[in-house]
């Protein structure tokens, strides 16, 4: 099925910059925080990653859509980004797994795209001025309506989006990676869903975990009744600071000395539960080529990243209970922490990748080891 219909459109940045192009996918005007992603492949996984909720993605790679979309590469069944900005959408899709072209896929998910944009210029603006609200609309959409969208959107800082995307009720996850035989289930893991990616859950199943996914607001008492061997804190969108319900639950788990593994938003929430602070970054880390250094072994890993908030450097200086385990080699920001008084650790990037390199998947094995001991 192909949806080649398009209209003249525009991308309006709150700072006043305007780019013109062609609208595709959904034709509804969309507002969100615009960021840039440097990944060269994996656009379907990126678009359906719930960590991009209320965001518009500018892809720096010029050709997007060349392999179409399929039913296996979804990182969530519903939700994801608000819109995408690309240099050129390919007219022909070619892949043995292709089920639907990108434009039709976006239309079904009510995601608006705009092509024909100078993404190199746009990326330079975002690097210099920072991520900011933006609107994708048809070209004739009035400035008053665009301003109304900006006013209604506000800013991602202070927004709790985890409660917006979390599951409505708990469920079991039993699907592992393709072509990998499922091992015997040895560990019960409760995964707090703040916007969890499917591939994280697959990798835990691959390692013998029985997964129970619970809502972000599930009380710790209810989780403890499940007798978990470990707690997983998932990725997710928005500002971690207002997620007080999650922070208080994590504090209980720390007191019980349960093994804890956090990724992305889960990493930030663990930090907040341990008394650290978080802050918004100028333009964040979004891509699949980010070098990260393990401070203990001096190994360098190429990692997948997607976050606009980070643990504050100043807040960790006087905290003797926390060890910084990893740092970004792009800007030296904190990428990993470990709690010295228990089996709790976290990583800011995405060791599950999807898309991206698999260099640092060993962190999943560390979680398994912590539960084994």
Q: What is the dihedral of CA 38, 348, 328, 125, to 10 degrees?
A: 40
Q: Is 286 a catalytic residue?
A: no
Question: Is residue 254 within 8 Å of residue 344, measured between CB atoms?
Answer: yes
Task: Enumerate residues 6+ apart whose C-beta is below 8 A from 310.
Answer: 268, 278, 279, 281, 333, 334, 348
Cis peptide before 348 (omega within 30 of 0): no
Token code pair at residue 367: 């979680």
Q: In 3D, which of 249, 147, 142, 143 has the Cα closest to residue 194?
A: 249
Q: Can you tell me which residue has the tokens 């998932």?
A: 234
Q: Torsions phi, psi of 263, nearest 5?
A: -130, 135
Contact 276, 316 (CB under 8 A): yes
What does DSSP say about strands 230-233 and 260-263: parallel, antiparallel, or unpaired? parallel
Alpha-carbon distance of 315 to 263, in angstroms, equals: 19
307 in catalytic set: no
Closest C-alpha among 107, 139, 145, 180 to residue 21: 139
Q: Which residue has the tokens 């005007």?
A: 29
Dist. CA 15–CA 35, nearest whole Å: 14
Spatial contact of 355 and 288, defined as CB atoms under 8 Å apart: yes
Q: Is 350 a catalytic residue?
A: yes
- Local structure of 111: helix, strand or coil: coil
- Alpha-carbon distances, residue 367 vs 161, 262, 323, 359 (angstroms): 26, 10, 17, 16
Give the Cα separation of 263 and 72 in Å (integer): 22
Q: Which of 264, 286, 307, 326 is catalytic?
A: 264
Enumerate the active-site residues: 264, 350, 352
């Amino acid at each position: 099925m192909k949806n080649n219909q398009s209209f003249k459109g525009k991308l309006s940045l709150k700072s006043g910059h305007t780019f013109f192009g062609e609208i595709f996918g959904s034709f509804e005007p969309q507002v969100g925080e615009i960021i840039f992603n440097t990944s060269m492949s994996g656009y379907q996984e990126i678009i359906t990653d719930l960590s991009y909720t209320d965001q518009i993605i500018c892809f720096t790679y010029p050709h997007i859509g060349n392999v179409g979309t399929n039913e296996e590469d979804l990182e969530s069944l519903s939700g994801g980004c608000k819109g995408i900005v690309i240099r050129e959408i390919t007219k022909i899709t070619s892949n043995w797994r292709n089920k639907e072209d990108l434009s039709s896929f976006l239309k079904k998910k009510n995601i608006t795209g705009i092509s024909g944009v100078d993404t190199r210029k746009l990326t330079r603006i975002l690097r210099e001025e920072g991520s900011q609200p933006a609107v994708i609309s048809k070209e004739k959409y009035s400035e008053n309506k665009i301003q109304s969208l900006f006013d209604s959107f506000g800013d991602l800082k202070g927004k709790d989006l985890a409660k917006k995307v979390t599951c409505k009720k708990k469920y079991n996850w039993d699907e592992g990676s393709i072509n990998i035989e499922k091992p015997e289930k040895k560990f019960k893991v409760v995964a707090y869903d703040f916007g969890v990616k499917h591939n994280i859950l697959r990798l835990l199943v691959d390692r013998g975990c029985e997964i129970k996914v619970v809502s972000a607001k599930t009380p710790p008492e209810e989780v403890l009744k499940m007798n978990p061997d470990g707690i997983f804190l998932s990725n997710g969108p928005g500002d971690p600071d207002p997620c007080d319900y999650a922070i208080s639950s994590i504090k209980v788990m720390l007191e019980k000395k349960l093994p804890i593994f956090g990724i992305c938003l889960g990493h930030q929430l663990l930090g907040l539960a341990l008394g650290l602070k978080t802050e918004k970054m100028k333009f964040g880390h979004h891509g699949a080529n980010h070098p990260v250094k393990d401070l203990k072994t001096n190994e360098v890993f190429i990692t997948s990243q997607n976050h606009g908030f980070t643990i504050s450097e100043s807040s960790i200086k006087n905290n003797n209970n926390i060890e910084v385990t990893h740092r970004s080699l792009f800007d030296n920001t904190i990428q990993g922490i470990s709690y010295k008084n228990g089996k709790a650790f976290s990583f800011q990037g995405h060791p599950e990748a999807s898309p991206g390199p698999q260099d640092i998947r060993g962190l999943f094995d560390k979680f398994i080891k912590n539960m084994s001991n």
